[in-house]
Amino acid sequence: MSQYDEYLGESLSALMDGEASDLDTRRVLKALALEDSQNAMLMRDKWRRYQSVSSVMKGDVVSKVDYSADITRAIAEEAVFKVNPLVKILSSSGRLAIAASVALVAVLGVQQFNLPAESTDQAAGFAYIDETSVEGLVGPANQLPAGWAMSEELQVRTVSADSVEKDIYSEEDARAYLAYVLAKHASKAPYVRSQGMLPYARMETRTTITDQE
Amino acid sequence: MAVFMTAIFVSVPVLAQQSKEAYELVEGMIDASKTLNYSGLVTYEKAGRLKTSKILHLNREDGTFQQLTHLDGPAGQFSWRRTSGDCELDTTQDKKADLLSTLTSSGFERLKASYTLEIRGQSRVAGREATTLLLKPKDSFRLPYFVAIDNQSNLMLMSVILSLAGKPLERFQFVEIEVGGDLDSMTVGDAELNAEVSCDAGSKPQPLGDWTVGWVPPGFLLTDSEKEPIIGESILSFSDGLSAFTVFIESVRMSKKIPPFTFSQGATAAVSAKLKNEEDEFTVSVVGEIPADAAKKIAQSVSHTSKLRKLP
């Protein structure tokens, strides 16, 4: 018995007693990995014997059948259910997308009322207009007309999360009022003949109209 | 040099010609909507939402009948009848309107004064050949329109309102349209009307005495005014022949419930501001398919004869 086999025997014994170090465990596993080698066979026999002795000492039933080979084969033969990496990506990004859209809804819900008009990019995600016709169109600079300046005190205040108004006005009332003026405006705009029936298309629901007319 | 000069002499008349055609096209479009009977399916897209509707437009001797049926979302159908003529002010009948605008002319004349018209090419909408046209505002108080006009009937088949930077804000487009045919002899039911608009002389819009809108963008004229008797709200509608906005002046009681705000969805901007006199506070709201900056400026120009101060 070589020095190595001696160490191996000690490691196996330690593993059996639950006192094996990392080095012991690794040494045993390494020997067992060489399945057909003399050492591996010996080790397996020894392990089985140790287990039997231990069972007898504890008064457990001792089986003489070696299941290990069958179990190994069964595991090898088991079909592997592979997961398509794309599905993984999709499902994870799906979760992300949902989370993102929930966040977006939350943000939009607030923004619609809180932010000045300029900062909400309503054009995002709009269907493509078929041609390049509008390319290069830049409207006139957003400038104030002659003789008019927007002073701080005249500025229209917007409702923001930290403004005092929020506490005074009910958001529900404010939203109802906004819906009302939008619908009322839509019902007024058809006076403009050049727009054809476009303004009608802006109308939201039947109730908003019948309530007013 | 000779080539260069030739290029100038050739291109100038071509441009002028194109512009003339563009004006004729828009004039034809307005006429078509006054004279033709049509029905069809339309899509309306704004702020990431798409709505589909069915529309019916019938011109009869006693007025125009219009109906819109929503095909998705909550069920709804609106019907209107306009008894006679245009509801827009015309100069011979109301001198007060002159105070509100330096321009005093028909809707189309005002449209020409406020927008540059440009033919952009040929396109196909709702299975029909159409000419696309860009209506570019001459100032920053209104929005550009990109429209497609049917080559055959002159009806507007598509209208896209763009931001001043040229991004689409809302889009109205026919998917299918039927012009004339059986529609010319179709009878109009009276029972299903949601609203009746009468434009005889008695109902011509009058500026509301107590309130003055100090500034509207050039070219906009008062097209309608109304005083709500119960909640005491004054409503003034303006149009430049293409775009429209509405000014709401709320009573003291209503104003207590309305915060000042700025809102925009699609091409529509809504701005609400406060006006104050010694005792009371009023709310002025401006809603329309105009840039928010213009809406703000209009809201701030509203004043009361009793010299209301703007709220600091």
* Residue B291 domain-assigned (yes or no): yes
Pick out chain A residues at pLDDT < 50.
Answer: 84-124, 130-167, 205-213
* Residue B128 domain-assigned (yes or no): yes
Looking at the structure, do residues B125 and B11 belong to the same domain, yes or no? yes
* Residue B19 domain-assigned (yes or no): yes
Looking at the structure, do residues B226 and B141 belong to the same domain, yes or no? no
Residue B141: which pLDDT band, with cuts at 50, 70 and 90?
A: very high
Q: What is the pLDDT of residues B163-175, one digit of tens each?
A: 998 888 989 999 9
Of A142 and B298, which is predicted with more confidence? B298
Q: Chain A within 8 Å of B261 (Cβ-Cβ)?
A: yes
The average pLDDT across B189-193 equals 58
Identify which of B203, B284, B208, B290 has the alpha carbon closest to the alpha carbon of residue B247. Answer: B284
Nearest CA in chain A to B68: A200
Looking at the structure, do residues B135 and B264 belong to the same domain, yes or no? no
Please tell me the distance in Å from A91's CA to the nearest CA on chain B: 24
Q: Provide the CATH number for the domain around residue B217.
A: 3.30.200.100
Residue B136: which pLDDT band, with cuts at 50, 70 and 90?
A: very high
Please tell me the distance in Å from B265's CA to the nearest CA on chain A: 7
Please tell me the distance in Å from A163's CA to the nearest CA on chain B: 11
SS (H, E, C) B164-197: CCCCEEEEEEEEEEEECHHHHHCCCCCCCCCEEE
- A68-72, B86-90, B182-186, B214-218, range with the lowest pLDDT: B86-90
Indicate the average pLDDT of chain B. Answer: 78
- Cα–Cα distance, B243 to A199 (Å, whole number): 10
* Residue B199 domain-assigned (yes or no): no
pLDDT at A117: 40
Phi/psi at B96 (5° precision)? -60, -30
pLDDT at B198: 54
End-to-end CA distance of chain B: 62
* Domain stops at, among B185, B213, B241: B185
Contact A129, B160 (CB under 8 A): yes
* Residue B198 domain-assigned (yes or no): no
| A184 contacts B273? CB cut-off 8 A | no
Looking at the structure, do residues B161 and B290 belong to the same domain, yes or no? no
Looking at the structure, do residues B276 and B167 belong to the same domain, yes or no? no
pLDDT at A198: 65
pLDDT at B4: 56
| A117 contacts B259? CB cut-off 8 A | no
Looking at the structure, do residues B166 and B263 belong to the same domain, yes or no? no
Q: What is the pLDDT of residues B93-122, one digit of tens each?
A: 333 333 333 333 466 777 888 899 989 999
| B66 contacts A197? CB cut-off 8 A | yes
Contact B25, B149 (CB under 8 A): yes
- Cα–Cα distance, B189 to A98 (Å, whole number): 48
Q: Which amino acid is it at B142? A: R
Q: What is the pLDDT of residues B235-274, one digit of tens each?
A: 888 888 888 899 998 888 778 778 888 888 888 899 998 8
Q: What angle do CA B287, B29, B102 make, to 5 degrees?
A: 50
* Domains of chain B: total: 2
pLDDT at B297: 93
Q: Of the candidates A139, A192, A201, which has its C-beta nearest B137's C-beta?
A: A139
Looking at the structure, do residues B165 and B294 belong to the same domain, yes or no? no
Looking at the structure, do residues B235 and B140 belong to the same domain, yes or no? no
Q: Chain A within 8 Å of B122 (Cβ-Cβ)?
A: no
| B88 contacts A192? CB cut-off 8 A | yes
* Residue B195 domain-assigned (yes or no): no
ipTM over 0.85: no
Q: Which residues, 6+ apart, have CB-to-CB distance to B235 below 8 Å? A: A184, A188, B224, B225, B226, B227, B228, B246, B247, B248, B249
What percentage of chain B exceeds 70 in pLDDT?
Answer: 76
Contact B191, B175 (CB under 8 A): no
Of B222 and B127, which is predicted with more confidence? B127
Q: Chain A within 8 Å of B161 (Cβ-Cβ)?
A: no
B253, B259, B264, B268: CA torsion to nearest 10? 10
The average pLDDT across B52-71 equals 85
| A191 contacts B68? CB cut-off 8 A | no
- Rg over alpha carbons for chain B, rounded to the nearest Å, is 21
pLDDT at A84: 44
3-state secondary structure of B98: helix
Looking at the structure, do residues B280 and B165 belong to the same domain, yes or no? no
Q: What is the DSSP string of A110-126?
A: HHHHHS-GGGS-TTTTP
* Domain stops at, among B155, B185, B215: B185
Domain boundaries, chain A: 3-77, 89-115+158-163, 170-213
Q: Provide the CATH number for the domain around residue B95.
A: 2.50.20.10
pLDDT at A199: 65
Cβ density class B277-298: b for 16+ within 10 Å, e for less: eeeeebbbbbbbbbbbbbbbbb
Instruction: Kindly report whether the global pTM for this prediction surpasses the value 0.80.
Output: no
Which chain B residues are Cβ-neighbours of A162 within 8 angstroms?
none
Looking at the structure, do residues B16 and B118 belong to the same domain, yes or no? yes
| B257 contacts A169? CB cut-off 8 A | yes
Query: Which segments within B180-258 are labelled E, that is strand?
Result: 195-197, 211-213, 221-228, 233-239, 244-250
* Domain stops at, among B185, B219, B240: B185
Residue B153: which pLDDT band, with cuts at 50, 70 and 90?
A: very high
The average pLDDT across B284-288 equals 93
Looking at the structure, do residues B88 and B223 belong to the same domain, yes or no? no
What percentage of chain B exceeds 90 in pLDDT?
Answer: 26
3-state secondary structure of B84: coil
pLDDT at A71: 82
Range of the domain at B170: 2-185
Q: What is the DSSP string of chain A?
A: --HHHHHHHHHHHHHHHT---HHHHHHHHHHHHSTTSHHHHHHHHHHHHHHHHHHHHHT--------HHHHHHHHHHSPP-PPPHHHHHHHHHHHHHHHHHHHHHHHHHHHHHHS-GGGS-TTTTPPPPSSGGGTT--PPP--PPTT----GGGSPPPP-TTSSHHHHS-HHHHHHHHHHHHHHHHHHGGG-GGGTTHHHHT---HHHHHTT-
The average pLDDT across B33-59 equals 87
User: For residue B177, what are the β-bridge partners?
Assistant: B40
Of A116 and B52, which is predicted with more confidence? B52
